[in-house]
Structure 1
Amino acid sequence: MRLGFIGFGEAAYELSTGLRKEGVETIYAHDVMLDHPTFGAQIKERASQAQVQILATPEDVLKQVDVVIVAVPADKAYGVSEELKPHLKKDCIYVDVSASTPVVKQNISKNIEEDGVLFVDAAMMGPLPVYKHKVPILASGSGVDRFISLMTPYEMVIKKVSGNPGDASAVKLIRSIYMKGVVGLYLELLEAAHEFNVEKLVLDSLSETMDSNGFEQTMNRLVTGTSIHALRRSIELDGSIQMLDASNINSSMSKAAKEKLEQLAKLNLREKFKGQKPESWLDVIEACKEQNIAINN
Protein backbone atom coordinates (compact mmCIF):
# COMPACT_ATOMS: atom_id res chain seq x y z
CA MET A 1 0.00 0.00 0.00
CA ARG A 2 1.46 3.33 -1.13
CA LEU A 3 0.10 6.43 0.55
CA GLY A 4 0.19 10.08 -0.44
CA PHE A 5 -1.04 13.42 0.86
CA ILE A 6 -2.13 16.49 -1.03
CA GLY A 7 -1.79 19.26 1.53
CA PHE A 8 0.75 18.74 4.30
CA GLY A 9 -0.62 20.73 7.21
CA GLU A 10 -1.31 19.55 10.74
CA ALA A 11 -3.69 16.74 9.71
CA ALA A 12 -1.27 15.18 7.23
CA TYR A 13 1.68 15.63 9.58
CA GLU A 14 -0.02 13.95 12.56
CA LEU A 15 -1.43 11.09 10.49
CA SER A 16 1.94 10.52 8.80
CA THR A 17 3.84 10.51 12.08
CA GLY A 18 1.61 7.78 13.48
CA LEU A 19 1.43 5.69 10.31
CA ARG A 20 5.20 5.64 9.84
CA LYS A 21 5.52 4.20 13.35
CA GLU A 22 2.95 1.53 12.43
CA GLY A 23 5.07 0.39 9.50
CA VAL A 24 3.94 2.37 6.47
CA GLU A 25 7.30 2.43 4.73
CA THR A 26 6.90 5.26 2.22
CA ILE A 27 4.62 8.29 2.32
CA TYR A 28 4.62 10.98 -0.35
CA ALA A 29 3.22 14.49 -0.11
CA HIS A 30 2.83 17.78 -1.93
CA ASP A 31 1.70 21.12 -0.59
CA VAL A 32 0.93 24.22 -2.63
CA MET A 33 2.71 26.31 0.04
CA LEU A 34 5.97 24.41 -0.35
CA ASP A 35 7.85 27.44 -1.67
CA HIS A 36 6.14 30.00 0.56
CA PRO A 37 8.77 32.21 2.25
CA THR A 38 7.25 31.63 5.71
CA PHE A 39 5.30 28.36 5.67
CA GLY A 40 7.48 26.42 3.24
CA ALA A 41 10.20 25.87 5.81
CA GLN A 42 7.68 24.54 8.36
CA ILE A 43 6.25 22.10 5.81
CA LYS A 44 9.71 20.78 4.97
CA GLU A 45 10.66 20.50 8.64
CA ARG A 46 7.49 18.57 9.47
CA ALA A 47 8.00 16.28 6.49
CA SER A 48 11.53 15.57 7.66
CA GLN A 49 10.32 14.76 11.19
CA ALA A 50 7.61 12.44 9.85
CA GLN A 51 9.96 10.88 7.26
CA VAL A 52 7.67 11.88 4.42
CA GLN A 53 8.98 12.43 0.89
CA ILE A 54 7.93 15.85 -0.39
CA LEU A 55 7.43 15.88 -4.17
CA ALA A 56 7.41 18.91 -6.45
CA THR A 57 3.94 18.50 -7.96
CA PRO A 58 0.61 16.81 -7.17
CA GLU A 59 1.04 14.74 -10.32
CA ASP A 60 4.27 13.31 -8.95
CA VAL A 61 2.43 12.16 -5.82
CA LEU A 62 -0.47 10.63 -7.73
CA LYS A 63 1.87 8.61 -9.94
CA GLN A 64 3.27 6.89 -6.84
CA VAL A 65 0.25 6.08 -4.69
CA ASP A 66 -2.73 3.76 -4.28
CA VAL A 67 -4.40 5.95 -1.64
CA VAL A 68 -4.32 9.74 -1.67
CA ILE A 69 -5.54 11.68 1.35
CA VAL A 70 -6.53 15.19 0.36
CA ALA A 71 -6.14 17.44 3.40
CA VAL A 72 -6.89 20.95 2.16
CA PRO A 73 -9.14 23.75 3.49
CA ALA A 74 -12.87 23.17 2.94
CA ASP A 75 -13.22 26.09 0.54
CA LYS A 76 -10.46 24.62 -1.67
CA ALA A 77 -11.60 20.99 -1.68
CA TYR A 78 -13.67 20.93 -4.87
CA GLY A 79 -11.18 23.06 -6.82
CA VAL A 80 -8.36 20.72 -5.82
CA SER A 81 -10.37 17.72 -7.02
CA GLU A 82 -10.68 19.44 -10.41
CA GLU A 83 -6.93 19.95 -10.55
CA LEU A 84 -6.16 16.38 -9.52
CA LYS A 85 -8.76 14.63 -11.68
CA PRO A 86 -6.69 14.37 -14.90
CA HIS A 87 -3.87 12.69 -12.99
CA LEU A 88 -5.82 10.16 -10.91
CA LYS A 89 -5.30 6.48 -11.69
CA LYS A 90 -8.22 4.10 -12.03
CA ASP A 91 -9.00 2.31 -8.74
CA CYS A 92 -7.04 4.89 -6.74
CA ILE A 93 -8.75 5.70 -3.44
CA TYR A 94 -9.35 9.43 -3.05
CA VAL A 95 -9.90 10.32 0.60
CA ASP A 96 -11.17 13.82 1.37
CA VAL A 97 -10.69 14.78 5.04
CA SER A 98 -11.73 18.43 4.68
CA ALA A 99 -14.57 19.91 6.71
CA SER A 100 -16.59 20.51 3.55
CA THR A 101 -20.37 20.27 3.41
CA PRO A 102 -22.13 17.08 2.30
CA VAL A 103 -23.00 18.74 -1.03
CA VAL A 104 -19.35 19.52 -1.74
CA LYS A 105 -18.35 15.95 -0.89
CA GLN A 106 -21.06 14.62 -3.22
CA ASN A 107 -19.85 16.88 -6.03
CA ILE A 108 -16.24 15.78 -5.56
CA SER A 109 -17.35 12.16 -5.63
CA LYS A 110 -19.29 12.61 -8.89
CA ASN A 111 -16.38 14.50 -10.39
CA ILE A 112 -13.66 11.93 -9.80
CA GLU A 113 -15.67 8.70 -10.00
CA GLU A 114 -16.27 9.34 -13.70
CA ASP A 115 -12.76 7.99 -14.23
CA GLY A 116 -13.11 4.90 -12.06
CA VAL A 117 -11.63 6.42 -8.92
CA LEU A 118 -13.03 5.35 -5.53
CA PHE A 119 -14.08 8.14 -3.17
CA VAL A 120 -14.07 8.34 0.62
CA ASP A 121 -15.67 11.15 2.60
CA ALA A 122 -13.67 10.97 5.85
CA ALA A 123 -14.67 12.96 8.93
CA MET A 124 -12.08 13.03 11.70
CA MET A 125 -13.86 13.11 15.04
CA GLY A 126 -11.14 13.98 17.53
CA PRO A 127 -7.99 16.06 18.10
CA LEU A 128 -5.19 14.89 15.80
CA PRO A 129 -2.30 15.93 18.08
CA VAL A 130 -3.77 13.58 20.70
CA TYR A 131 -4.82 10.61 18.56
CA LYS A 132 -2.60 10.98 15.46
CA HIS A 133 -3.41 8.13 13.01
CA LYS A 134 -5.75 6.56 15.57
CA VAL A 135 -8.13 9.51 15.46
CA PRO A 136 -11.70 8.15 15.20
CA ILE A 137 -12.83 8.52 11.58
CA LEU A 138 -16.35 8.26 10.21
CA ALA A 139 -16.31 7.38 6.53
CA SER A 140 -18.78 7.12 3.66
CA GLY A 141 -18.57 6.72 -0.10
CA SER A 142 -17.71 4.13 -2.74
CA GLY A 143 -14.20 3.45 -1.44
CA VAL A 144 -14.93 2.98 2.24
CA ASP A 145 -14.70 -0.82 2.43
CA ARG A 146 -11.39 -0.92 0.61
CA PHE A 147 -10.03 2.01 2.61
CA ILE A 148 -10.89 0.25 5.87
CA SER A 149 -9.33 -2.99 4.63
CA LEU A 150 -6.08 -1.24 3.68
CA MET A 151 -5.69 1.02 6.72
CA THR A 152 -6.99 -1.06 9.65
CA PRO A 153 -3.78 -3.15 9.77
CA TYR A 154 -2.00 0.15 10.52
CA GLU A 155 -4.24 0.77 13.54
CA MET A 156 -6.43 3.43 11.94
CA VAL A 157 -9.88 3.56 13.55
CA ILE A 158 -12.41 3.90 10.74
CA LYS A 159 -16.15 3.35 11.06
CA LYS A 160 -18.33 3.01 7.98
CA VAL A 161 -21.37 5.28 7.95
CA SER A 162 -22.73 4.36 4.52
CA GLY A 163 -21.87 4.16 0.86
CA ASN A 164 -23.19 7.67 0.30
CA PRO A 165 -20.60 10.46 0.04
CA GLY A 166 -21.45 13.33 2.37
CA ASP A 167 -23.04 11.24 5.11
CA ALA A 168 -19.88 11.17 7.23
CA SER A 169 -19.38 14.92 6.92
CA ALA A 170 -23.02 15.50 7.82
CA VAL A 171 -22.44 13.74 11.16
CA LYS A 172 -19.40 15.89 11.89
CA LEU A 173 -21.03 19.19 10.94
CA ILE A 174 -24.21 18.42 12.90
CA ARG A 175 -22.08 17.47 15.91
CA SER A 176 -20.27 20.80 15.51
CA ILE A 177 -23.53 22.69 16.08
CA TYR A 178 -23.24 21.54 19.67
CA MET A 179 -19.48 21.32 20.14
CA LYS A 180 -18.81 24.80 18.76
CA GLY A 181 -22.05 26.40 19.87
CA VAL A 182 -21.78 25.30 23.47
CA VAL A 183 -18.42 27.06 23.79
CA GLY A 184 -20.20 30.34 23.05
CA LEU A 185 -22.65 29.60 25.84
CA TYR A 186 -19.82 28.66 28.20
CA LEU A 187 -18.07 31.96 27.53
CA GLU A 188 -21.25 33.97 28.07
CA LEU A 189 -22.14 32.33 31.38
CA LEU A 190 -18.53 32.44 32.65
CA GLU A 191 -18.25 36.15 31.86
CA ALA A 192 -21.44 36.77 33.79
CA ALA A 193 -20.46 34.52 36.70
CA HIS A 194 -17.10 36.26 36.98
CA GLU A 195 -18.67 39.72 36.75
CA PHE A 196 -20.97 38.95 39.68
CA ASN A 197 -18.30 37.00 41.56
CA VAL A 198 -20.46 33.88 41.81
CA GLU A 199 -18.37 31.47 39.72
CA LYS A 200 -18.26 28.63 42.22
CA LEU A 201 -21.97 28.78 43.04
CA VAL A 202 -22.94 28.78 39.35
CA LEU A 203 -20.55 25.99 38.35
CA ASP A 204 -21.44 23.83 41.34
CA SER A 205 -25.14 24.21 40.57
CA LEU A 206 -24.69 23.40 36.88
CA SER A 207 -22.43 20.44 37.67
CA GLU A 208 -25.03 18.98 40.01
CA THR A 209 -27.70 19.28 37.32
CA MET A 210 -25.66 18.12 34.33
CA ASP A 211 -23.78 15.33 36.10
CA SER A 212 -26.89 13.74 37.59
CA ASN A 213 -27.61 11.81 34.36
CA GLY A 214 -25.94 10.96 31.07
CA PHE A 215 -25.85 13.34 28.12
CA GLU A 216 -28.72 11.83 26.14
CA GLN A 217 -31.01 11.55 29.15
CA THR A 218 -30.34 15.15 30.16
CA MET A 219 -30.82 16.37 26.60
CA ASN A 220 -34.09 14.46 26.32
CA ARG A 221 -35.40 15.95 29.56
CA LEU A 222 -34.53 19.51 28.55
CA VAL A 223 -35.96 19.26 25.03
CA THR A 224 -39.19 17.52 25.98
CA GLY A 225 -39.80 19.86 28.92
CA THR A 226 -39.11 22.96 26.86
CA SER A 227 -41.50 21.82 24.13
CA ILE A 228 -44.44 22.61 26.43
CA HIS A 229 -42.82 25.45 28.39
CA ALA A 230 -41.06 27.32 25.57
CA LEU A 231 -42.86 30.64 26.06
CA ARG A 232 -42.25 30.77 29.82
CA ARG A 233 -38.60 29.85 29.41
CA SER A 234 -38.07 32.47 26.70
CA ILE A 235 -39.46 35.10 29.08
CA GLU A 236 -37.18 33.87 31.87
CA LEU A 237 -34.21 34.04 29.50
CA ASP A 238 -35.11 37.63 28.71
CA GLY A 239 -34.30 38.44 32.33
CA SER A 240 -30.83 36.95 31.83
CA ILE A 241 -30.38 39.08 28.72
CA GLN A 242 -31.38 42.25 30.54
CA MET A 243 -28.88 41.43 33.30
CA LEU A 244 -26.07 40.85 30.81
CA ASP A 245 -26.84 44.00 28.85
CA ALA A 246 -26.90 46.06 32.04
CA SER A 247 -23.43 44.74 32.85
CA ASN A 248 -22.11 45.42 29.33
CA ILE A 249 -21.63 41.70 28.69
CA ASN A 250 -22.32 40.46 25.16
CA SER A 251 -25.58 38.52 25.26
CA SER A 252 -25.63 37.22 21.67
CA MET A 253 -25.88 33.54 22.62
CA SER A 254 -28.73 34.15 25.06
CA LYS A 255 -30.54 36.29 22.50
CA ALA A 256 -30.21 33.56 19.89
CA ALA A 257 -31.53 30.98 22.36
CA LYS A 258 -34.46 33.24 23.24
CA GLU A 259 -35.31 33.62 19.56
CA LYS A 260 -35.23 29.84 19.10
CA LEU A 261 -37.53 29.36 22.09
CA GLU A 262 -39.94 31.99 20.77
CA GLN A 263 -40.08 30.18 17.43
CA LEU A 264 -40.80 26.95 19.26
CA ALA A 265 -43.55 28.62 21.32
CA LYS A 266 -45.30 29.77 18.12
CA LEU A 267 -45.74 26.14 17.10
CA ASN A 268 -48.00 25.68 20.14
CA LEU A 269 -46.74 22.21 21.01
CA ARG A 270 -48.19 22.62 24.49
CA GLU A 271 -51.65 22.30 22.98
CA LYS A 272 -50.60 19.51 20.61
CA PHE A 273 -49.22 17.46 23.52
CA LYS A 274 -52.21 18.45 25.71
CA GLY A 275 -49.89 19.99 28.30
CA GLN A 276 -48.12 16.69 28.92
CA LYS A 277 -44.39 16.36 28.39
CA PRO A 278 -43.72 13.93 25.52
CA GLU A 279 -41.61 10.84 26.07
CA SER A 280 -38.83 11.52 23.58
CA TRP A 281 -36.99 14.36 21.86
CA LEU A 282 -37.94 12.62 18.60
CA ASP A 283 -41.62 13.34 19.36
CA VAL A 284 -40.71 17.03 19.62
CA ILE A 285 -38.70 17.13 16.38
CA GLU A 286 -41.42 15.31 14.43
CA ALA A 287 -44.10 17.61 15.89
CA CYS A 288 -42.04 20.68 14.93
CA LYS A 289 -41.72 19.41 11.39
CA GLU A 290 -45.44 18.68 11.18
CA GLN A 291 -46.45 22.06 12.58
CA ASN A 292 -44.05 23.93 10.28
CA ILE A 293 -45.49 22.14 7.25
CA ALA A 294 -49.02 23.04 8.36
CA ILE A 295 -48.06 26.70 8.87
CA ASN A 296 -46.28 26.97 5.51
CA ASN A 297 -49.21 25.42 3.68
Structure 2
Amino acid sequence: MTVIAVLGLGEAGRIYARDLREAGFHVRGFDPYVRADDEQIEQVPAVADAVVPADLVISLVGARAAEAVARQALPHCPPDAVYADLNTGSPALKRTLAELAAAADVAFADVAVLAPVPRKGARTALMASGTGAERFAELVRPAAVPVEAIPGGAGAAAARKLLRSVFMKGLAALMLECESAAAAAGEQEWLRGQMVGELSGDVGELIDRLVDGSRVHAARRVHEVEDAAGYLAELGRPAWVMEASRTWLASLLDD
Protein backbone atom coordinates (compact mmCIF):
# COMPACT_ATOMS: atom_id res chain seq x y z
CA MET A 1 0.00 0.00 0.00
CA THR A 2 1.28 3.47 -0.91
CA VAL A 3 2.13 5.49 2.19
CA ILE A 4 1.47 9.23 2.12
CA ALA A 5 2.63 11.66 4.81
CA VAL A 6 0.62 14.86 5.16
CA LEU A 7 2.53 17.58 7.01
CA GLY A 8 0.11 20.21 8.28
CA LEU A 9 -3.42 19.28 9.35
CA GLY A 10 -5.19 22.58 8.90
CA GLU A 11 -8.32 22.68 6.74
CA ALA A 12 -6.64 21.67 3.47
CA GLY A 13 -4.34 19.13 5.11
CA ARG A 14 -7.21 17.37 6.87
CA ILE A 15 -9.22 17.25 3.65
CA TYR A 16 -6.36 15.74 1.66
CA ALA A 17 -5.51 13.29 4.42
CA ARG A 18 -9.11 12.11 4.68
CA ASP A 19 -9.76 11.88 0.93
CA LEU A 20 -6.49 10.07 0.22
CA ARG A 21 -7.20 7.61 3.03
CA GLU A 22 -10.66 6.96 1.61
CA ALA A 23 -9.02 6.34 -1.78
CA GLY A 24 -7.06 3.46 -0.26
CA PHE A 25 -3.76 5.05 0.71
CA HIS A 26 -2.10 4.60 4.10
CA VAL A 27 -1.99 8.19 5.37
CA ARG A 28 0.12 9.50 8.23
CA GLY A 29 -0.39 13.06 9.41
CA PHE A 30 1.79 15.38 11.44
CA ASP A 31 0.95 18.73 12.98
CA PRO A 32 2.32 19.87 16.35
CA TYR A 33 -0.42 22.49 16.75
CA VAL A 34 -3.59 20.81 15.46
CA ARG A 35 -5.28 17.64 16.57
CA ALA A 36 -7.18 16.16 13.63
CA ASP A 37 -9.46 13.95 15.77
CA ASP A 38 -10.29 11.90 12.70
CA GLU A 39 -10.27 8.11 12.90
CA GLN A 40 -9.21 7.89 9.27
CA ILE A 41 -6.03 9.91 9.87
CA GLU A 42 -3.15 8.31 11.73
CA GLN A 43 -1.64 11.36 13.41
CA VAL A 44 1.93 10.80 14.59
CA PRO A 45 3.92 12.82 17.15
CA ALA A 46 7.01 13.66 15.06
CA VAL A 47 7.92 14.60 11.50
CA ALA A 48 10.22 11.61 11.20
CA ASP A 49 7.43 9.22 12.21
CA ALA A 50 5.36 10.52 9.30
CA VAL A 51 7.96 10.61 6.54
CA VAL A 52 10.29 7.65 7.21
CA PRO A 53 7.94 5.11 5.60
CA ALA A 54 6.40 7.50 3.05
CA ASP A 55 6.34 7.15 -0.72
CA LEU A 56 4.93 10.67 -0.96
CA VAL A 57 5.24 13.59 1.46
CA ILE A 58 2.73 16.40 1.06
CA SER A 59 3.53 19.71 2.76
CA LEU A 60 0.56 21.93 3.62
CA VAL A 61 2.07 23.95 6.44
CA GLY A 62 1.88 27.42 4.89
CA ALA A 63 4.58 29.30 3.03
CA ARG A 64 6.15 30.81 6.14
CA ALA A 65 6.83 27.41 7.67
CA ALA A 66 7.54 25.53 4.43
CA GLU A 67 11.33 25.80 4.49
CA ALA A 68 11.70 25.04 8.20
CA VAL A 69 9.47 21.97 7.91
CA ALA A 70 11.28 20.79 4.77
CA ARG A 71 14.60 21.02 6.62
CA GLN A 72 13.14 18.81 9.36
CA ALA A 73 11.49 16.31 7.04
CA LEU A 74 13.85 15.81 4.10
CA PRO A 75 16.68 14.10 6.01
CA HIS A 76 14.22 11.38 7.01
CA CYS A 77 12.63 10.82 3.60
CA PRO A 78 13.38 7.56 1.78
CA PRO A 79 15.54 8.12 -1.34
CA ASP A 80 12.71 7.05 -3.67
CA ALA A 81 10.10 9.32 -2.06
CA VAL A 82 8.61 12.46 -3.59
CA TYR A 83 8.44 15.62 -1.49
CA ALA A 84 5.50 17.69 -2.76
CA ASP A 85 5.10 21.26 -1.56
CA LEU A 86 1.47 22.37 -2.00
CA ASN A 87 1.87 25.66 -0.15
CA THR A 88 1.18 28.90 -2.00
CA GLY A 89 4.60 30.51 -2.14
CA SER A 90 6.98 32.36 -4.39
CA PRO A 91 8.95 30.69 -7.18
CA ALA A 92 12.11 31.56 -5.24
CA LEU A 93 10.84 29.64 -2.20
CA LYS A 94 10.03 26.61 -4.34
CA ARG A 95 13.52 26.68 -5.86
CA THR A 96 15.03 26.80 -2.37
CA LEU A 97 12.96 23.79 -1.34
CA ALA A 98 14.02 21.96 -4.50
CA GLU A 99 17.67 22.59 -3.63
CA LEU A 100 17.13 21.19 -0.13
CA ALA A 101 15.43 18.13 -1.62
CA ALA A 102 18.22 17.60 -4.13
CA ALA A 103 20.81 17.75 -1.33
CA ALA A 104 18.84 14.99 0.41
CA ASP A 105 18.58 13.02 -2.86
CA VAL A 106 14.79 13.31 -2.85
CA ALA A 107 12.63 14.18 -5.87
CA PHE A 108 10.74 17.46 -5.44
CA ALA A 109 7.37 18.57 -6.80
CA ASP A 110 6.34 22.22 -6.77
CA VAL A 111 2.56 21.84 -6.70
CA ALA A 112 0.14 24.71 -7.31
CA VAL A 113 -3.41 24.27 -6.01
CA LEU A 114 -5.65 25.97 -8.56
CA ALA A 115 -8.93 26.27 -6.65
CA PRO A 116 -10.22 26.28 -3.07
CA VAL A 117 -9.71 22.77 -1.64
CA PRO A 118 -13.04 22.56 0.28
CA ARG A 119 -14.98 22.58 -3.01
CA LYS A 120 -13.70 19.29 -4.44
CA GLY A 121 -11.28 17.98 -1.84
CA ALA A 122 -8.51 15.84 -3.26
CA ARG A 123 -10.03 16.24 -6.73
CA THR A 124 -9.07 19.90 -6.80
CA ALA A 125 -7.09 20.75 -9.95
CA LEU A 126 -3.31 20.81 -9.40
CA MET A 127 -0.32 21.85 -11.48
CA ALA A 128 3.13 20.42 -10.77
CA SER A 129 6.68 21.10 -11.86
CA GLY A 130 10.11 19.94 -10.73
CA THR A 131 11.97 16.64 -10.69
CA GLY A 132 9.14 14.85 -8.90
CA ALA A 133 6.20 16.28 -10.85
CA GLU A 134 5.49 13.24 -13.04
CA ARG A 135 6.00 10.82 -10.18
CA PHE A 136 3.70 12.90 -7.96
CA ALA A 137 0.96 12.76 -10.61
CA GLU A 138 1.45 9.00 -10.92
CA LEU A 139 1.25 8.42 -7.16
CA VAL A 140 -2.03 10.32 -6.64
CA ARG A 141 -3.72 9.12 -9.83
CA PRO A 142 -5.60 6.28 -8.03
CA ALA A 143 -7.42 8.97 -6.01
CA ALA A 144 -8.54 10.70 -9.23
CA VAL A 145 -6.46 13.76 -8.37
CA PRO A 146 -6.21 15.93 -11.52
CA VAL A 147 -2.56 16.94 -11.97
CA GLU A 148 -1.02 18.73 -14.93
CA ALA A 149 2.75 18.27 -14.94
CA ILE A 150 4.51 21.15 -16.68
CA PRO A 151 8.14 21.79 -17.70
CA GLY A 152 10.33 24.50 -16.29
CA GLY A 153 11.57 23.06 -13.01
CA ALA A 154 10.63 23.98 -9.46
CA GLY A 155 9.04 27.42 -9.34
CA ALA A 156 7.28 27.11 -12.69
CA ALA A 157 4.01 25.92 -11.15
CA ALA A 158 4.25 28.52 -8.37
CA ALA A 159 4.76 31.26 -10.96
CA ARG A 160 1.63 30.26 -12.85
CA LYS A 161 -0.34 30.10 -9.60
CA LEU A 162 0.71 33.65 -8.69
CA LEU A 163 -0.15 34.93 -12.17
CA ARG A 164 -3.59 33.42 -11.65
CA SER A 165 -3.71 35.12 -8.25
CA VAL A 166 -3.13 38.50 -9.91
CA PHE A 167 -6.34 37.89 -11.84
CA MET A 168 -8.43 36.26 -9.13
CA LYS A 169 -7.43 38.48 -6.21
CA GLY A 170 -7.52 41.59 -8.40
CA LEU A 171 -10.99 40.59 -9.57
CA ALA A 172 -12.05 40.08 -5.96
CA ALA A 173 -10.82 43.56 -5.06
CA LEU A 174 -12.79 45.03 -7.98
CA MET A 175 -15.96 43.17 -6.90
CA LEU A 176 -15.54 44.39 -3.33
CA GLU A 177 -15.17 47.98 -4.50
CA CYS A 178 -18.23 47.65 -6.73
CA GLU A 179 -20.36 46.14 -3.98
CA SER A 180 -19.25 48.79 -1.50
CA ALA A 181 -20.08 51.65 -3.86
CA ALA A 182 -23.36 50.15 -5.03
CA ALA A 183 -24.52 49.59 -1.46
CA ALA A 184 -23.78 53.21 -0.60
CA ALA A 185 -25.70 54.37 -3.69
CA GLY A 186 -28.61 51.97 -3.15
CA GLU A 187 -27.94 50.32 -6.52
CA GLN A 188 -26.69 46.85 -5.57
CA GLU A 189 -29.22 44.90 -7.60
CA TRP A 190 -28.72 47.01 -10.73
CA LEU A 191 -24.91 46.90 -10.61
CA ARG A 192 -24.88 43.16 -9.87
CA GLY A 193 -26.99 42.68 -12.99
CA GLN A 194 -24.52 44.73 -15.05
CA MET A 195 -21.62 42.63 -13.76
CA VAL A 196 -23.39 39.34 -14.44
CA GLY A 197 -24.37 40.49 -17.93
CA GLU A 198 -20.81 41.40 -18.89
CA LEU A 199 -19.34 38.16 -17.52
CA SER A 200 -22.05 35.92 -18.99
CA GLY A 201 -21.28 36.65 -22.63
CA ASP A 202 -18.19 35.94 -24.72
CA VAL A 203 -15.56 36.39 -22.00
CA GLY A 204 -12.68 36.11 -24.47
CA GLU A 205 -14.17 38.98 -26.48
CA LEU A 206 -14.67 40.97 -23.28
CA ILE A 207 -10.99 40.56 -22.34
CA ASP A 208 -9.91 41.69 -25.80
CA ARG A 209 -12.25 44.67 -25.61
CA LEU A 210 -10.99 45.73 -22.20
CA VAL A 211 -7.31 45.38 -23.05
CA ASP A 212 -7.36 46.72 -26.62
CA GLY A 213 -9.96 49.38 -25.84
CA SER A 214 -7.91 50.68 -22.94
CA ARG A 215 -4.90 51.15 -25.20
CA VAL A 216 -6.91 52.96 -27.85
CA HIS A 217 -9.03 55.08 -25.52
CA ALA A 218 -6.65 55.57 -22.58
CA ALA A 219 -7.00 59.35 -22.42
CA ARG A 220 -10.79 59.28 -22.29
CA ARG A 221 -10.83 56.47 -19.79
CA VAL A 222 -8.43 58.29 -17.47
CA HIS A 223 -11.03 61.03 -17.12
CA GLU A 224 -13.81 58.49 -16.66
CA VAL A 225 -12.09 56.70 -13.79
CA GLU A 226 -11.23 60.07 -12.22
CA ASP A 227 -14.92 60.91 -12.26
CA ALA A 228 -15.79 57.46 -10.88
CA ALA A 229 -13.26 57.85 -8.06
CA GLY A 230 -14.66 61.29 -7.30
CA TYR A 231 -18.16 59.86 -7.07
CA LEU A 232 -16.99 57.14 -4.67
CA ALA A 233 -15.45 59.87 -2.53
CA GLU A 234 -18.85 61.61 -2.45
CA LEU A 235 -20.38 58.32 -1.32
CA GLY A 236 -17.72 57.99 1.35
CA ARG A 237 -16.50 54.68 -0.07
CA PRO A 238 -12.96 53.50 -0.99
CA ALA A 239 -11.72 54.01 -4.54
CA TRP A 240 -8.52 51.96 -4.33
CA VAL A 241 -9.19 49.96 -7.50
CA MET A 242 -10.19 53.10 -9.39
CA GLU A 243 -6.96 54.77 -8.31
CA ALA A 244 -4.96 51.80 -9.57
CA SER A 245 -6.99 51.85 -12.81
CA ARG A 246 -6.10 55.50 -13.34
CA THR A 247 -2.40 54.72 -12.84
CA TRP A 248 -2.53 51.94 -15.42
CA LEU A 249 -4.48 53.95 -17.97
CA ALA A 250 -2.23 56.97 -17.55
CA SER A 251 0.81 54.77 -18.15
CA LEU A 252 -0.63 53.81 -21.55
CA LEU A 253 -0.53 57.43 -22.65
CA ASP A 254 3.27 57.23 -22.66
CA ASP A 255 3.40 54.18 -24.94
**Is 2:187 the counterpart of 1:187?**
no
Residue 223 of structure 1 and its aligned partner are, at CA, apart by 0.1
- Matching residue of 2:108: 119
- Matching residue of 1:139: 128
Distance 1:153 1:132 in 2: 14
- Matching residue of 2:140: 151
Kept in 2, the 8 Å contact 1:142–1:163? The answer is: no
190, 197, 200: which one aligns with 1:211: 200
**Is 2:81 the counterpart of 1:92?**
yes
Residue 163 of structure 1 and its aligned partner are, at CA, apart by 4.9
Q: For residues 61-83 of structure 1, give each alpha carbon's deviation from its aligned partner in whole angstroms, at most 9, with x where no partner exists.
A: 11121110011111111222222
- Matching residue of 1:257: 245
- Matching residue of 1:175: 164
Q: Which amino acid aligns with 2:171?
A: V
Q: Which amino acid aligns with 2:223?
A: I
- Matching residue of 1:44: 36
**Identity percentage over the alignment?**
26
- Matching residue of 1:101: 90
Kept in 1, the 8 Å contact 2:14–2:36? The answer is: no
Query: What is the aligned residue count?
Result: 254
Q: Which amino acid aligns with 2:68?
A: G
**Is 2:208 the counterpart of 1:220?**
yes
- Matching residue of 1:77: 66
SS in 2 for 1:145: helix
Q: For residues 224-269 of structure 1, give each alpha carbon's deviation from its aligned partner in whole angstroms, at most 9, with x where no partner exists.
A: 11112112111110000111111211111111111111112222xx
**Is 2:65 the counterpart of 1:64?**
no
- Matching residue of 1:21: 22
Q: Which amino acid aligns with 2:6?
A: F
Distance 1:224 1:162 in 2: 31
Query: Aligned pair in 2 of structure 1 residues 239, 152: CA closer, same or farther (>3 Å)?
Result: same
Residue 161 of structure 1 and its aligned partner are, at CA, apart by 1.7
Distance 2:199 2:120 in 1: 27
Q: RMSD of aligned C-alpha atoms?
A: 1.5
SS in 1 for 2:36: helix
Higher-Rg structure is 1
* TM-score normalised by the chain length of structure 1: 0.81
Kept in 2, the 8 Å contact 1:144–1:163? The answer is: no
- Matching residue of 2:4: 3
Q: 5+ unaligned residues in a row in structure 1: which ranges?
A: 34-39, 268-297
Q: 5+ unaligned residues in a row in structure 2: which ranges?
A: none
- Matching residue of 2:254: 266
Q: For residues 8-46 of structure 1, give each alpha carbon's deviation from its aligned partner in whole angstroms, at most 9, with x where no partner exists.
A: 11111111222222222x21111121xxxxxx4xx232x
* TM-score normalised by the chain length of structure 2: 0.94
Q: Which amino acid aligns with 1:119?
A: F
Q: For residues 163-201 of structure 1, give each alpha carbon's deviation from its aligned partner in whole angstroms, at most 9, with x where no partner exists.
A: 511111111111111111111111211222222222333
- Matching residue of 1:279: none
